[in-house]
Amino acid sequence: MLAGSRLVVVTVDDDALALRPPPPPDGIADVRAAVRDALRFPLAGEPLEALVPRTGGRATIVVEPPALPLPGTERDPRQDAIAAAVEELERLGIQSGYQTLLVAGGLARRAGHELLTSLVSHEFARRFHGHVEVHDVERGDLVDLGTAGSLPLRVHPALVETDVVVVVTAAESVLHGGPAALVGASSREALRSAGAWSLLETTASQGWRTGLELERALAGRVPLIGASLVLNHPRAGGAARGYPYDLEALDRIAGSPLRHLFGVLPGSIRASVLRSLPLERTVAAAFAGPPSVAHAEALLRGVELRGVALDGELDALCIGIPRTTPTLPRERPNPLLVSYLGLGLAMRLWRDRFPVRESGTVVLLSRLQRRFAHPTQQPYRAFFAAARAGPEPQALARAEEAAAHDARALDRYRSGRTVHPLLPFTDWTGCAPTLSHVGHVLVAGCRDAAAARALGFVPTHGLGPALTMVRGWTDRPPRVGFLLSPPYFPLLVRRS
């Protein structure tokens, strides 16, 4: 298992479940052609050709930073999808000089030059003559589209001051891709309320409902179409070839004498070695139509291809947390981001039933050291200052109110130096569905007990003591699962 930058070999009981993602299928040979065909023959609604004005006009292409899925790849298929959308608009009479690329990053760090270059290929960047807008949730000229209940719907002006809007994303969850990209180009109020019980089910997702309301309100003013990709799991090359899909690859890595040499290297060097491993990601399918329709179909197809069936709930689930962040740029995660990766991301990728029984246990394999990358993660210090005596809701609410009006923190976000000061509180809210269901969260290998207790977790010296505690909390042999990740993958939990 990958924990931080370490490879941990775990000896478990015979009845333990090692949950491995299925190997990726063969991908589409020509992603650009698939996206062009999808835009010409959508699942529902009018094709792009019918939405574009006959006399040219302007177009806005909405994209998201390629932060998910984990791990990222240097060559992302979304680059080809964006290029295909631009080329199709040019074919229909809207030259690239009249196109706007809107980066809907939400509360994450605003994209700078390095991130913008990762959105498209170098060849595309040289010939694209349009505008690039990076959304700022604090800008004062957001356009009012009405309300969804008591929630005001305000979006970036580029979504309204145009003749057609094309949303190009990958279907990762109900909060990532599709109509969620419109939420990422809206106000902080909409982003702060965008939650979900499961990242793969729309029924209990306020974020999905907000995205639908934004889509309907925007479609009433501007022609709107979306293209959604189904991304396969990555294939690793080099020394990690076949990991984590093949048992032979797991045995080869576990038995390699180089593993022990790798373990004694400094953490920064291990992380650099892991980042240097060649990864290839392909596309399984592309769909188009109204953003919610295309995204829902792509998400269902992705769950079918990447998901793993699990018969009944587990008593405990062990999750390895990699040394990375769920947002760009990739950095060493602080304790709250470790929690979000395990509890807010991996533990919410389920359908039908929660993977751990009520009052069960989640074990996070992480050192959980309280370090904050400067300056990007500085807003997380305010969260931990409020959680010194534990995650008390009233103290966190007061800290969130203060962070929302912190002029210096907001200025650092707007200048692209840090994340939005509300993002730490949003990340903690993303952990709430898991925390409200399980009874205990253990941190195996924890090096900062104070940080673990500030989040309400139980620190342990290693995985062995953590599993001993799990056995002591049940009156029968516990059913324990081990999630080999990343990549994180959907769990299809059936009734036992």
Letter for the amino acid at 87? E
3-state secondary structure of 462: coil
Which tokens is 39 given? 């835009």
Which tokens is 148 given? 């969804």
d(CA 490, CA 215): 26
- Given 196, 231, 266, the domain boundary residue is 231
- Given 176, 203, 231, the domain boundary residue is 231
Looking at residue 400, which CATH number applies to its domain?
Answer: 3.90.226.30
Are 339 and 462 found together in one domain? yes
Are 367 and 476 found together in one domain? yes
pLDDT at 55: 83
187 DSSP 8-state letter: -
What percentage of the chain exceeds 90 in pLDDT? 81
Task: List % helix, strand, coil for the chain (3-state, nearest 5).
Answer: 40, 20, 40
Residues of the chain with pLDDT below 70 are none
Looking at the structure of the chain, the number of domains it has is 3
Q: Could you read off the pLDDT of 220-256 as tens digits, one per residue? A: 999 999 999 999 999 998 888 999 999 899 889 888 8
Domain that holds residue 488: 2-21+308-494
pLDDT at 51: 97
d(CA 229, CA 249): 29
- Given 193, 212, 231, the domain boundary residue is 231
Q: Could you read off the pLDDT of 147-185 as tens digits, one per residue? A: 998 999 999 999 999 999 999 999 999 999 999 999 999
Are 219 and 256 found together in one domain? no
d(CA 404, CA 401): 5
Entry pTM: 0.95
Helix ranges restricted to H, 355-494: 379-386, 393-404, 407-414, 423-437, 449-454, 463-472
Are 127 and 274 found together in one domain? no
Are 269 and 138 found together in one domain? no
